[in-house]
């Protein structure tokens, strides 16, 4: 069965918005390898509407010389949105309605590689809460951004995670991989 995997650049204070404004001083060959391996393991990109529209405004105008334009423009894209009526950046499918989780679980049951999420923090929070997200891969940058949308904004219920792997890469960036897990019971009670 395929996995839905979210890969995000995140600051120490949890900001995921506009990583282009704070991420690049920390970029390294190590980080490039992590990002490249996630793309190589994926044949479908899952996006929320806002991220999809931002990407659709940028990537179709890029040539093969701009990495990873070929991947971004060629990969199957699935957009979760109840408001987007038409997707002009092909190949794209829009899913919506009350049964989005069922549609995503059906997609996971199809043959293929991972289904990756880039950006789309609202979608990541929702899928994690609903038990549809299989892995959360964070590249934690050693910077406090101070403002911007946070991955966990205080609107969700507690969600347990299990650390699957961790490593420090160049520029003191932590690469952390989590999977959903039950919250441990307090043994002191």
pLDDT digits 0-9 by tens, 129-178: 999 999 999 999 999 999 999 998 777 678 889 999 999 999 999 999 99
pLDDT at 189 over 60: no
Report field, pTM of the whole predicted structure over 0.85: yes
Mean pLDDT rounded to a whole number for the chain: 93
Encoded tokens for 134:
């299989």
Rounded Cα–Cα distance for residues 123 and 51 (Å): 10
Quick one: CA dihedral 117, 121, 126, 131, positive or negative? Answer: positive
Asked if residues 139 and 34 have their Cβ atoms less than 8 Å apart, the reply is yes
Distance of CA 57 to the CA centre of its chain: 19
Asked if residues 8 and 150 have their Cβ atoms less than 8 Å apart, the reply is no
Vertex 155, ends 159 and 152: CA angle to 5°? 60
pLDDT digits 0-9 by tens, 175-184: 999 999 988 8
- What SS3 state is found at 38? helix
Identify the residue whose tokens are 């995997």: 5
Region 58-79 average pLDDT: 92
Vertex 129, ends 5 and 81: CA angle to 5°? 70
In this predicted structure, what is the pLDDT of residue 157? 75
For the chain, which domains are there?
4-173 (3.40.430.10)
């Amino acid at each position: 069965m395929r996995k839905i995997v979210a890969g995000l650049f995140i600051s120490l204070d949890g900001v995921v918005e506009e990583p282009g404004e704070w991420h690049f001083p920390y970029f390294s060959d190590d980080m490039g390898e992590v990002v490249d391996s996630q793309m190589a393991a994926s044949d479908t990109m899952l996006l929320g509407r806002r991220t999809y529209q931002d990407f659709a405004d940028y990537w179709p105008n890029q040539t093969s010389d701009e990495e990873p334009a070929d991947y971004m423009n060629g990969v199957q894209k699935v957009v979760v949105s109840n408001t987007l009526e038409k997707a002009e950046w092909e190949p794209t499918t829009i899913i919506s309605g009350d049964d989005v989780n069922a549609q995503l679980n059906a997609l996971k049951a199809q043959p293929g590689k991972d289904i990756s999420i880039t950006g789309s923090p609202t979608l990541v929070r929702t899928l994690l809460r609903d038990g549809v997200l299989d892995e959360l891969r964070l590249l934690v940058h050693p910077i406090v951004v101070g403002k911007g949308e946070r991955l966990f904004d205080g609107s969700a219920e507690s969600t347990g995670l299990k650390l699957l792997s961790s490593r420090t890469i160049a520029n003191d960036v932590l690469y952390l991989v989590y999977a959903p897990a039950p919250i441990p019971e307090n043994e002191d009670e």
